[in-house]
């Protein structure tokens, strides 16, 4: 990477991480702390408070993506972070469960993931794009692991309202970072048309990735209805689950760095991508078999393998989406992509609990395996895009085409 690409990658990964840390810190303690609010004895309202963040994210991601094509990446990101900060303040102040739900909905309305990913794509060459996206994926995995350890400690000291206020502070820090550290996006010729939603919805290659990110995040979210229970059954106290999660996440980053990047340079991106989908499918089948008699070593190995596949896909999918999308419609394409990602998380959370109750944990993992099989079939015809070596080359190709 060039110095500018490194600065863009690290700054935008940190913005993503800070925002996701604020989100992840709340999840492990939300259900317990919500019971202390007036109206918190209503399970449906508590569930709405947890899920509505993802729902408003899903509804607005494509709108932010399209807006970033029209008005510029940075102004849209700043506007979204201001909305997220306002929602954090509202949720921290909330005197009742209904107000807490409203605050969470406003938080989710700051749906800047598509604009952040589009800006990262604007600032990096195709040849290093996957590595840049991997930094974002790694930041998400690390913040998830950190939140599992830090959330109970912080909750004991500052409570849920304090955690929600902390998310607002992180959003303000992100605004400062995007304004004064992240490089400016390259200027596009004014005669190039702006992206349209209809244009990206007709692209079969992009639709395959949209189906994939929905399947991956629905599976990942649904799994967490079962994994903690299996670890407890295997003899690991709930407070010590991070002993399994953190090493699995960190080791999977090493595997991703040693496989994805060198194999992509040699032209094997399609093979690595499809192998990662197949690996997650096999993990789900393994978890379905292990659910009847869970053993800690088996679960640890399966979770390590899951994170290997998951992190490879988290790095390569948005990179592929940004490279397959027309540059003038990149924000729109990534908006749809991030919308399907949020909908996948919402669907996994909504259906996962029902599956665990209706068909048991083995049935839940079996359903996840079936979803991954559908994705593998849909993804099989994919072709890796040809790499452009500079942002200027992308703009020149687009100008020539128009």
> Tokens 């005669």 appear where?
191
Residue-level pLDDT at 189: 53
Q: Is the dihedral of CA 11, 212, 277, 369 positive or negative?
A: positive
CATH number for the domain whose boundaries are 1-185: 1.20.1250.20
Residue-level pLDDT at 76: 92
Q: In angstroms, rounded to a whole number, what is the distance separating the alpha carbons of residues 245 and 89?
A: 31
Tally of CA atoms within 13 A in the half-sphere of 143 that contains its CB: 23
Kindly write down the DSSP assignment for every residue of 334-387, as one continuous string: HHHHHHHHHHHHHHHHHHHHHHHHHHHHHHHHHHHHHHHHHHHHHHTT--PPPP
Mean pLDDT score of the chain = 82
Both tokens of 363, joined, read 């049935």
Q: Judge whether 1-185 and 194-384 match in fold.
A: yes
Backbone phi and psi for residue 370, each to the nearest 5 degrees, phi listed first: -60, -40
| 8 Å CB contact between 338 and 346 | no
> CATH class for domain 194-384?
mainly alpha
Non-local (6+) Cβ contacts of 135 within 8 A are 9, 10, 13
CA dihedral 41, 34, 103, 94 (to 10 degrees): 90
- Cα separations (Å) of 255 from 182, 258, 260, 308? 29, 5, 8, 7
Q: In angstroms, rounded to a whole number, what is the distance separating the alpha carbons of residues 155 and 15?
A: 23
pTM for the whole thing?
0.76
- Say whether 241 sits in a helix, a strand or coil: coil
Kindly write down the DSSP assignment for every residue of 146-206, as one continuous string: HHHHHHHHHHHHHHHHHHHHHHHHHHHHHHHHHHHTSPPPPPPPTTSPPP-HHHHHT-HHH
Residue-level pLDDT at 305: 95
> Tokens 């400016």 appear where?
184
Q: In angstroms, rounded to a whole number, what is the distance separating the alpha carbons of residues 65 and 338?
A: 9
Non-local (6+) Cβ contacts of 250 within 8 A are 145
Both tokens of 337, joined, read 């992509």
Give percent of the chain with pLDDT exceeding 90. Answer: 23
Both tokens of 252, joined, read 């999977």
Residue-level pLDDT at 398: 47
Residue-level pLDDT at 89: 94
Which of 187, 154, 145 is closest to 30 using CA atoms? 154
Question: What are the structural domain ranges in the chain?
Answer: 1-185, 194-384
Q: Give me the residues of the chain with pLDDT under 70, please.
A: 22, 27-28, 31, 43, 47, 141, 148, 187-197, 238, 384-402
- Cα separations (Å) of 13 from 138, 151, 182, 261? 8, 21, 10, 18
Residue-level pLDDT at 194: 58
Residue-level pLDDT at 190: 52
What single-letter DSSP state applies at residue 234?
T
Both tokens of 378, joined, read 């849909």
pLDDT per position as a tens digit, 58-80: 788 878 888 888 888 899 999 99
């Amino acid at each position: 990477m060039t110095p500018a690409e490194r600065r863009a990658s690290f700054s935008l990964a940190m913005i993503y991480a800070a925002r996701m840390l604020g989100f992840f810190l709340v999840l492990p303690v939300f259900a317990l702390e919500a019971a202390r609010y007036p109206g918190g004895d209503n399970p449906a309202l508590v569930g709405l408070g947890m899920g509505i963040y993802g729902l408003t994210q899903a509804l607005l991601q494509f709108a932010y993506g399209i807006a970033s094509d029209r008005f510029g990446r940075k102004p849209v990101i700043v506007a979204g972070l201001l909305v997220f900060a306002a929602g954090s303040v509202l949720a921290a102040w909330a005197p009742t469960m209904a107000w807490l739900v409203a605050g969470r909905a406003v938080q989710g309305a700051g749906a800047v993931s598509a604009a952040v990913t589009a800006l990262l794509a604007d600032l990096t060459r195709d040849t290093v794009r996957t590595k840049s996206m991997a930094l974002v994926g790694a930041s998400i995995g690390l913040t998830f692991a950190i939140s599992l350890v830090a959330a109970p400690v912080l909750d004991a000291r500052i409570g849920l309202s304090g955690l929600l206020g902390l998310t607002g502070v992180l959003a303000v820090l992100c605004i400062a970072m995007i304004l004064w550290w992240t490089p400016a996006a390259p200027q596009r010729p004014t005669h190039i048309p702006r992206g349209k939603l209809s244009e990206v919805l007709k692209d079969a290659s992009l639709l395959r990735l949209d189906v994939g990110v929905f399947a991956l995040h629905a599976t990942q979210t649904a799994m967490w209805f079962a994994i903690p229970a299996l670890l407890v059954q295997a003899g690991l106290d709930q407070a010590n689950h991070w002993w399994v999660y953190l090493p699995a996440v960190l080791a999977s980053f090493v595997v991703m760095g040693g496989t994805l990047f060198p194999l992509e340079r040699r032209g094997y991106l399609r093979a690595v991508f499809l192998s990662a989908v197949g690996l997650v499918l096999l993990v789900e089948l393994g978890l379905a078999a292990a659910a009847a008699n869970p053993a800690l070593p088996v679960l640890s190995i399966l979770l390590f393998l899951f994170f290997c596949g998951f992190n490879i896909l988290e790095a390569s999918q948005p990179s592929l989406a940004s490279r397959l999308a027309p540059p003038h419609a990149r924000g729109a394409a990534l908006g749809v992509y991030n919308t399907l990602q949020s909908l996948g998380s919402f669907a996994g959370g909504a259906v996962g609990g029902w599956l665990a109750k209706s068909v048991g944990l083995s049935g839940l993992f079996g359903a996840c395996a079936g979803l991954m099989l559908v994705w593998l079939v849909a993804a099989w015809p994919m072709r890796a895009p040809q790499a452009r070596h500079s942002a200027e080359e992308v703009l020149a190709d687009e100008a020539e085409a128009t």
